[in-house]
Amino acid sequence: MFKHAIVRTPCKNMVAGLTGAGLGKPDHSLAMIQHQAYIKVLESCNVEVTILPPDEKYPDSTFVEDVALLTPHCAIITRPGAPSRQGETEGIQRAITPFYSAVEVIREPGTIDAGDIMMVGEHYYIGLSERTNPEGARQMIQILEQYGMSGSTVDLKHVLHLKTGAAYLENNNLVVCGEFTEKAEFEKFNRIVITEANAYSANCIWVNDRVVIPSGFPRTKELISSAGYPVIETDMSEFQKLDGGLSCLSLRF
Ligand code: CIR
């Protein structure tokens, strides 16, 4: 179960965020409304949410998930693959200090975005992507092993991050889309397959036995409800314009 979450308020400069989505610029005022609703959703799942202030220096800084991996045993500060995001780690390191005494860091030349890391119990799947290089993954696995956990890599072809197309919902249930539907390493899971038309909703989050999905995907809602979860929908349109999914907006631990 998660007790805490950390989020960062979107900055006005989010309009300059990285994106390949081709959906236009996000509207900051609407993003603020959606972000506040997202926080309420997390609170309704019984997590205490720490809200960090906007950081105009970093347009993508609302996507806090990428800059740290928060495990039950230690926190690991990542080294984001996009140079424009590397400075985001400083603020996150400060924010996690009250919660963690064991804090590790990924070092150059390793790069890793935690959007590429999916937790399945004590094992962590790490996508090798344009953001996460083999050295970043190697350092991450070494740190996980030091604390009694484990990790393995997954090659990615098309998606930005591993969690763009896969989400673990606990109880052996795994949401998969696109290239993840056929991966041998995921065959052992009870796979909930999302079609390409609904691909954005494959990035959903399990929070204390509920599943939060983006609004506008009735088929995904149906599939996840049928697997036995109460589903909560929340509007994500402005974050989608920056390639950001539901998981990217929070660190849950
Ligand atoms: C980026 O390209 O880094 C941001 N615009 C979106 C990050 C999304 N994060 C995630 O999928 N974990």
For 171-195, how does the pLDDT look when each residue is reduced to its tens digit (9 = 90+)?
Answer: 999 999 999 999 999 999 999 999 9
The torsion angle over the Cα atoms of residues 134, 137, 143 and 149, rounded to 10 degrees, is -130
- Model pLDDT for residues 209-239, shown as the tens digit of each residue: 999 999 999 999 999 999 999 999 999 999 9
Pocket test for ligand 1, best of 8, 63, 240, 252 (most atoms within 8 A of CB): 63
pLDDT for the residue numbered 236:
98
| Token representation of residue 22 | 């081709």
pLDDT for the residue numbered 152:
98
pLDDT for the residue numbered 124:
98
Mean pLDDT calculated for residue range 127-134: 98
Torsion sign over Cα 57, 244, 62, 24: positive
Cα→Cα distances 31→62, 157, 175, Å: 10, 30, 26
Check pocket membership of 245 for ligand 1, CB cut-off 6 A: yes
State the average pLDDT for the chain: 98
Fold of 4-252: L-arginine/glycine Amidinotransferase; Chain A (3.75.10)
pLDDT for the residue numbered 130:
96
Give the up-direction half-sphere exposure of residue 113: CA atoms within 13 A in the CB hemisphere.
Answer: 29
Cα–Cα distance between 178 and 176 in angstroms, integer? 7
Mean pLDDT calculated for residue range 34-51: 98
- Residue 188: partners with Cβ closer than 8 Å, 6 or more residues away: 172
Distance 63 CA to ligand 1 centre (A): 6
pLDDT for the residue numbered 109:
98
User: In terms of DSSP bridges, do strands 210-214 and 231-234 run parallel, antiparallel, or are they unpaired?
Assistant: parallel
Q: First CA to last CA across the chain, in angstroms?
A: 8
For residue 65, give the ligand 1 atom closest to its CA: 12
pLDDT for the residue numbered 176:
98
Q: Where are the domains of the chain?
A: 4-252
Q: Look up tokens 């045993």; give the residue.
A: 73
Mean pLDDT calculated for residue range 118-143: 98
Distance 26 CA to ligand 1 centre (A): 14
CA 56 to chain centre: 21
pLDDT for the residue numbered 168:
98
Name the closest-CA residue to atom 7, ligand 1.
Answer: 244
The DSSP call for residue 68 is: E
Q: Residue 247 carries which side chain, given as an amino acid letter?
A: S
User: pLDDT class for 23, splitting at 50, 70, 90?
Assistant: very high
Element (H, E) at 52: strand 48-52
- Do residues 76 and 107 lie in contact, with contact meaning Cβ atoms separated by under 8 Å? no
Distance 239 CA to ligand 1 centre (A): 9
pLDDT for the residue numbered 60:
98
Name the closest-CA residue to atom 1, ligand 1.
Answer: 18
Q: List the strands of the sheet with 117-120, edge to edge.
A: 117-120, 123-128, 150-155
- Model pLDDT for residues 68-111, shown as the tens digit of each residue: 999 999 999 999 999 999 999 999 999 999 999 999 999 999 99
